[in-house]
């Protein structure tokens, strides 16, 4: 059992693993978890980056409208004024609303400005947007960007954690940074003084959510306040300790304990996968060398 030599272990540290006590302080709000427990970090675009992308889109739209009007009046000099006004309105709406909606639908969330800024619109669950999302965003953009000169979009974006404008709130979307350097998290290192103990320990079946919380805690420990770091460390160590036997040596620091368990878990998973790949290779080699008259030579189903 792990005990804090300086302070008593928090009462909630012995809670069930499914509770993941204290993990909500790590803030996973911008991370999505797939069905295979893979963490996807989708970082919302900053307000400045979004503003630059919108500015580029507005400039392109204005230039497109002016060019369209010039071509229209240059080629329809004899047309009836009422008909000309109606056609001009239709053309303006097409450039202002129709074309942006079509582009965002076909590119799954990218306009010219977003492409230049490395941004993309996605659904709240991280998936690509569809026509209805682009339609809602395009219609409301007339109100919050063009009609109000961006004032509505500015106020709503500043009040939202993900920088959503009104169209995003209604459509259930937000803008992410698509082009950003991919930084793979550093592998958890085995504390040398705990290697002899953990290699002979029974790690049980560490649930994926708890293992993920421990990895995120170790990766962010340096950025946590000292009190929160100590509290979360002891809480997670207490939950993991219920699944590990025998307990670590007395006086083990909770972060060293978590690092040792995660590093050993990774090594055991690698070893298991290696053994399975070798077994599959051996079965394939056995089938390839089998006599055509043998049972395996007739292509019995492979259980790989």
Strands 39-41 and 119-123 turn out to be: unpaired
- Which tens digit of pLDDT belongs to each residue from 241-271? 888 888 899 889 999 999 999 999 888 888 8
Tell me the pTM: 0.50
> What tokens appear for 93 in the block?
């709406």
Mean pLDDT of the chain: 78
- Percentage of the chain beyond pLDDT 70 is 76
Residue 12 clears pLDDT 70, i.e. is over it: no
- Per-residue burial over 105-118, b = 16 or more CB atoms within 10 Å of its CB, e = otherwise: bebebbbbbbbebe
Confidence label for 289 from pLDDT (cuts 50, 70 and 90): confident
DSSP annotation string for 193-229: GGHHHHTTSB-----HHHHHHHHHHHHHGGGS-HHHH
User: Of the ranges 33-42, 124-133, 135-144, 194-203, which one carries the lowest mean pLDDT score?
Assistant: 33-42
Euclidean distance between CA atoms 38 and 66, whole angstroms: 48
85 backbone φψ class: left, alpha, beta (φ>0; ψ -120 to 50):
alpha
User: Of the ranges 15-29, 85-99, 168-182, 234-248, which one carries the lowest mean pLDDT score?
Assistant: 15-29
Tell me which H or E stretch contains 265.
helix 254-289
Euclidean distance between CA atoms 96 and 146, whole angstroms: 9
- Which tens digit of pLDDT belongs to each residue from 151-196? 888 898 888 888 899 989 999 999 988 765 555 567 788 999 999 9
Q: DSSP 3-state assignment of 290?
A: coil
HSE on the CB side for 227, CA within 13 Å?
0
Mean pLDDT, rounded, for 266-290: 87
Tell me which H or E stretch contains 120.
strand 119-123
pLDDT of residue 133: 92
Highest mean pLDDT: which of 24-28, 87-91, 98-102? 98-102
Whether the Cβ atoms of residue 157 and residue 164 lie closer than 8 Å to each other? yes
pLDDT of residue 254: 92
């Amino acid at each position: 059992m792990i005990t804090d030599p300086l302070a008593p272990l928090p009462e909630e540290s012995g809670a069930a693993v499914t509770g993941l006590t204290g993990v909500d302080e790590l803030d996973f709000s911008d991370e999505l978890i797939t069905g295979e427990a893979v963490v996807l970090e989708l970082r919302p675009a900053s307000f400045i980056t979004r503003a630059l992308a919108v500015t580029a889109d507005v400039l392109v739209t204005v230039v497109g409208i002016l060019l369209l009007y010039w071509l229209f009046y240059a080629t329809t000099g004899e047309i009836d004024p009422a008909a000309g006004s109606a056609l001009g309105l239709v053309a303006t709406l097409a450039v202002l609303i129709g074309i942006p909606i079509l582009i965002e639908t076909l590119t799954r969330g990218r306009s010219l400005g977003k492409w230049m800024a490395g941004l993309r619109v996605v659904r709240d669950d991280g998936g690509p947007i569809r026509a209805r999302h682009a339609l809602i965003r395009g219609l409301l953009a007339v109100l919050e960007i063009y009609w109000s000169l961006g004032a509505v979009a500015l106020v709503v974006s500043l009040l939202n954690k993900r920088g959503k404008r009104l169209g995003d709130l209604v459509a259930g979307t937000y803008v992410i940074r698509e082009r950003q350097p991919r930084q793979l998290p550093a592998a958890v290192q085995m504390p040398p003084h705990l290697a002899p103990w953990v290699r002979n320990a029974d790690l049980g079946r560490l649930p994926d959510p708890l293992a993920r919380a421990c990895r995120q805690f170790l990766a962010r420990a340096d950025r946590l306040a000292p009190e929160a770091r100590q509290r979360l460390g002891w809480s997670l160590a207490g939950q993991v300790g219920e699944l590990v036997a025998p307990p670590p040596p007395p006086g083990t620091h909770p972060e060293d304990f978590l690092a040792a368990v995660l590093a050993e878990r990774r090594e055991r998973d690698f070893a298991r996968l290696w053994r399975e790949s070798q077994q599959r290779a051996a079965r394939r080699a056995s089938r390839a060398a089998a006599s055509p008259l043998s049972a395996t030579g007739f292509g019995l189903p492979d259980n790989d």
